[in-house]
Amino acid sequence: MSIDKLIANVIRADVRAIGAYVVPDASGYIKLDAMENPYELPEHLRTELGQRLADAVLNRYPTGSYATLKDKVKNKLGIPAGYDVMLGNGSDELIQIVTTTVANQERRASVLAPVPAFVMYSRSAQFAGADFVGVKLKPDFTLDMDAMLAAIALHRPAVVFLAYPNNPTGNLFAVEDIEAILQAQGEHGLVVLDEAYQPFARKTFMDRLGDFENLVVMRTVSKLGLAGIRLGYMTAAPALLDEFEKVRPPYNVNVLTQVAAEFVLEHVDVLDAQAASINAERERLSAELAALPGVEVFTSAANFISLRVPDAADVCAKLYDAKVLIRNLSKMHGMLANCIRVTVSTPEENSAFLNALKAALTPA
Residues that bind ligand PMP (CB under 6 A): 35, 90-92, 118, 163, 167, 194, 196, 220, 222, 227, 232
Q: State which H helix or E strand residue 145 sits in.
A: helix 145-155
Between 96 and 330, whose beta carbon lies closer to ligand PMP? 96
Q: Judge whether 224 and 37 are in contact, CB under 8 Å.
A: yes
Residue 93 C-beta: closest distance to ligand PMP, Å: 7
Taking the least distance from each CB to ligand PMP, the nearer of 181 and 196 is 196
Q: What is the dihedral of CA 350, 351, 356, 361, to 10 degrees?
A: 90
To ligand PMP, the closest distance from the beta carbon of 159 in angstroms equals 14
Contact 227, 248 (CB under 8 A): no
Cβ atoms of 289 and 297 within 8 Å: the answer is: yes
**Nearest residue to 62 (alpha-carbon basis) of 328, 255, 311:** 255
Task: Give the nearer residue to ligand PMP in terms of CB position, either 118 or 353.
Answer: 118
- Provide the minimum distance between the beta carbon of 232 and ligand PMP in the complex, in angstroms, as a whole number: 4
236, 209 contact by CB (below 8 A) = yes
CB of 94 vs ligand PMP, minimal distance in Å: 8
* Nearest Cα to Cα of residue 181 among 220, 146, 131, 223: 146
DSSP-based three-state secondary structure for 209: coil
The residue number with the shortest CB distance to ligand PMP is 90
* Complex with ligand PMP: residue 241 or 292, whichever CB lies closer: 241
**Secondary structure of residue 88 in the 3-state scheme:** strand
Task: Considering the complex, state which of residue 114 and residue 189 has its C-beta at the smaller distance from ligand PMP.
Answer: 114
User: Nearer Cβ to ligand PMP, position 127 or 322?
Assistant: 127
Q: What are the CA-CA distances from residue 130 to residues 124, 205, 334 (Å)? A: 8, 26, 23
Minimum distance, C-beta of residue 161 to ligand PMP, in the bound complex (Å)? 9
Rg (CA), the chain: 21
Edge-first strand order for the sheet with 296-297 is: 296-297, 304-308, 339-343, 327-328
Minimum distance between the CB of residue 196 and ligand PMP, rounded to whole angstroms?
4
Report the nearest approach of ligand PMP to the CB of residue 69 (Å).
15
Minimum distance of ligand PMP from residue 126's CB (angstroms): 17
User: At 70, is the secondary structure helix, strand, or coil?
Assistant: helix
CB of 91 to ligand PMP, least distance (A): 4
Nearer to ligand PMP, 227 or 361 (CB): 227
C-beta closer to ligand PMP: residue 126 or 351: 126
Nearest-10 crossing angle of helices 145-155, 175-185: 10
Min dist CB 118 to ligand PMP, Å, is 4
Instruction: Give 130 or 360: the residue with its C-beta nearer to ligand PMP.
Output: 130
Cα dist from 201 to 173, 252, 296, 301, 314, whole Å: 12, 28, 21, 5, 31
Largest interatomic CA distance in the chain: 62
Q: How far is CA 316 from the centre of its chain?
A: 22
Contacts of 295-298 with C-beta under 8 Å, sequence gap 24+, read 295/361, 298/141, 298/169, 298/170, 298/171
Nearer to ligand PMP, 163 or 312 (CB): 163
Can you state the angle between helices 255-264 and 43-54, rounded to 10 degrees? Answer: 140
